[in-house]
């Protein structure tokens, strides 16, 4: 995967590009064009249609009629900026399109061949199975399996952040979703609050094909990744801790007593 930088080299003069009668500053670090006379007027490359040899843009500068323009690849507009942003040499960019620079070509070919992305949840690896709508656990048959891990089905997980991610409690020992009732009095060990990207981020290639999106154009906006790392927060550092404490008070429990184990349930 490309090691991308988010800001241009300090003091470097940015190139310009004219659309119609309007001059724009080309900022490849932010993937945008900014009107030279008014920097608040911006056009993101992500809002243009990527067509391989160029981007397409409908533009009206109020001096000319609405027209469709071709905008060159960013590697043509500012090869120095793209080299800095993606840690490439000029020779590595020679003859390349933006798609070939921004998208990991080796993994792209492997994904076309059927290789699935993976995600690490704690010590456990899962395969992103977009077709069946789940994360499938990697099974190491050389190790003794005490608890057969569960598939993590997307439709059974809570969607958050405007459907851009999923969040759920996870039993790391049993490799299963942890469910609890409102009267929970004890947080079992090895329970974590897990956050993962939504499936269109985990496997943008499969998402684009399913919804008939132009694959290269979609991957330019959502570059595919080989591997992800889930965010884990110990359950004792989440709202679950406050819920347990409130329940203990309500049921007049104290730390010297053993809470009812059946108040903490795990999905089987």
pLDDT at 111 over 50: yes
DSSP secondary-structure letter at 216?
Answer: H
The domain containing residue 119 runs over which residues? 107-263
Same domain for 243 and 199 = yes
**What pLDDT is stored for residue 139 in this prediction?**
83
CB 175 within 8 A of CB 154: no
The H-assigned helical ranges of 86-226 are 90-93, 98-102, 105-112, 199-202, 204-210, 215-221
CA angle in degrees (0–180, nearest 5) for 218-195-152 = 85
Flag whether pLDDT at 197 surpasses 70: yes
Q: Which residues pair with 215 in a beta bridge?
A: none
In a domain, 248, yes or no: yes
114 and 93 co-located in one domain: no
Res 9 pLDDT > 70 = no
In this structure, are 86 and 119 located in the same domain? no
Is residue 268 included in any domain, yes or no? no
pTM for the predicted model, two decimal places: 0.81
Pair 128, 250 in one domain? yes
What pLDDT does 7 receive?
A: 52
Give the model's pLDDT for residue 263.
47
| Mean local confidence (pLDDT), 151-174 | 96
| 3-state secondary structure (DSSP) of residue 184 | coil
- The answer to the question of residue 8 being in a domain is no
Q: What's the number of domains the chain is made of?
A: 2
Vertex 246 angle, CA 245 and 249, to 5°: 90
Provide, rounded to the nearest whole percent, the portion of the chain with pLDDT above 90.
Answer: 78
Are 78 and 164 contained in the same domain?
Answer: no
Query: For 63-72, what is each residue's pLDDT tens digit?
Result: 667 899 999 9
Q: What do you get for the CA distance between the two ends of the chain, in Å?
A: 37
Are 135 and 210 part of one and the same domain? Answer: yes
* 82 shares its domain with 153: no
Domain membership flag for residue 5: no
In this prediction, residue 144 has a pLDDT band, given cuts at 50, 70 and 90, of: low
Residue 268: the pLDDT is: 40
Kind plus residue range of the DSSP H or E element containing 250: helix 239-250
Task: Examine the fold and report which residue of 102, 128, 158 is the final residue of a domain before the chain moves on.
Answer: 102
Instruction: Note the pLDDT of residue 63.
Output: 67
85 with 126, same domain: the answer is: no
- pLDDT value of residue 149: 85
């Amino acid at each position: 995967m490309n090691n991308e930088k988010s800001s241009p080299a300090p003091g470097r003069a940015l190139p310009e590009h004219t659309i119609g009668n309007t001059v724009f500053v080309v900022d490849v670090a932010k993937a945008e064009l900014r009107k030279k006379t008014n920097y608040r007027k911006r056009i993101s490359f992500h809002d243009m249609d990527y067509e391989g040899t160029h981007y397409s843009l409908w533009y009206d500068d109020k001096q000319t009629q609405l027209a469709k323009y071709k905008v060159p690849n960013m590697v043509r507009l500012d090869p120095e900026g793209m080299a800095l942003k993606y840690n490439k040499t000029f020779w590595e960019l020679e003859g390349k399109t933006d798609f070939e620079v921004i998208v990991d070509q080796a993994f792209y070919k492997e994904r076309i061949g059927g290789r699935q992305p993976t995600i690490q949840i704690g010590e456990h690896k899962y395969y992103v199975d977009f077709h069946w709508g789940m994360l499938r656990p990697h099974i190491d048959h050389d190790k003794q399996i005490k608890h057969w891990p569960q598939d993590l089905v997307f439709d059974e997980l809570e969607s958050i952040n405007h459907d851009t991610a999923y969040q759920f409690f996870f039993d790391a020992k049993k490799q299963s979703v942890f469910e609890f009732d409102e009267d929970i009095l004890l947080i079992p060990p090895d329970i974590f609050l897990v956050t993962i990207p939504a499936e269109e981020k985990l496997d943008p290639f499969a998402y684009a094909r399913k919804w008939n999106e132009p694959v290269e154009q979609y991957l330019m906006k959502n570059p595919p990744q080989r591997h992800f790392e889930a965010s884990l927060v110990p359950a004792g550092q989440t709202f679950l801790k406050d819920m347990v404490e409130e329940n203990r008070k309500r049921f007049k429990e104290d730390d010297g007593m053993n809470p009812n184990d059946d108040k903490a349930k795990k999905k089987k």
